[in-house]
Amino acid sequence: MSVETITILIGVMSTIAALISIFFAWQAVKVAEKSNTIGLLSEIQKQRWSESIFNSLRIVWKQYHAYQENADDGEPITFEQAWNFVSEHQGKDGSEEWKAVHELTGFWHYIAVLVKRGFLDEEIVTSAIGSPRILGFLFPIEEAFSKYNKKTNIPKVSLKWYYDLWKAKRQ
């Protein structure tokens, strides 16, 4: 065998080895992504079933039903209703209702950001965590609270964005 033939064989074998390495690296990335998704869902599940979130859900659902007869369908409350809620509870940081709304708003913002950034799939979240119907109460409150405090900047990943995504996938 000539030196050129040996060089070509070494080059071909190196290319094959590199392609095999790329394939296994790609497989490892896929496994890592699945592990991360499982880890995120596990953490969200722990939060979702915590006593604090459970109590907040109970309180907010009670408020939601008081404002919206179709709350179980996730029908949003009106801006006026949200404005009234914010006006009534603003400055009452210690009220049970206000704390519950803020806790759930933070919880669902966390999920919305993870979905928006592609770390979690909305369908998986809905299957594992539950329906975001409660956002029909929370996103109008978020919007009214922002206007009440004269802030025009609702977060880019607003609860309305996530509600609209969920609603579009339901139809």
Are 27 and 93 part of one and the same domain?
A: no
Are 74 and 22 part of one and the same domain?
A: no
For residue 43, is it within any domain?
Answer: no
What would the two tokens of residue 28 be? 């490892």
How many Å apart are CA 38 and CA 22, to the nearest integer? Answer: 24
Mean pLDDT of 24-40: 87
pLDDT in tens, 57-69: 999 999 999 999 9
State the total domains in the chain. 2
Predicted pLDDT of residue 136: 97
pLDDT in tens, 127-148: 888 889 999 999 999 999 888 8
For residue 132, is it within any domain?
Answer: yes
Are 63 and 112 part of one and the same domain?
A: yes
Are 113 and 150 part of one and the same domain?
A: yes
pLDDT in tens, 83-112: 999 988 877 667 899 999 999 999 999 999
What number of CA atoms fall less than 13 Å from residue 171's CA on the CB side?
A: 5
Mean pLDDT of 112-138: 90
Are 22 and 83 part of one and the same domain?
A: no
For residue 44, is it within any domain?
Answer: no
For residue 41, is it within any domain?
Answer: no
Cα–Cα distance list, 57 to 54, 83, 86, 94, 108 (Å): 5, 20, 18, 17, 12
For residue 87, is it within any domain?
Answer: yes
Q: What pTM value is reported for the model?
A: 0.80
Cα–Cα distance list, 99 to 52, 96, 114, 127 (Å): 10, 5, 23, 27
Domain that holds residue 9: 1-36
Which 3 state secondary structure label does DSSP give 118? coil
Predicted pLDDT of residue 38: 86
pLDDT averaged over every residue in the chain: 89
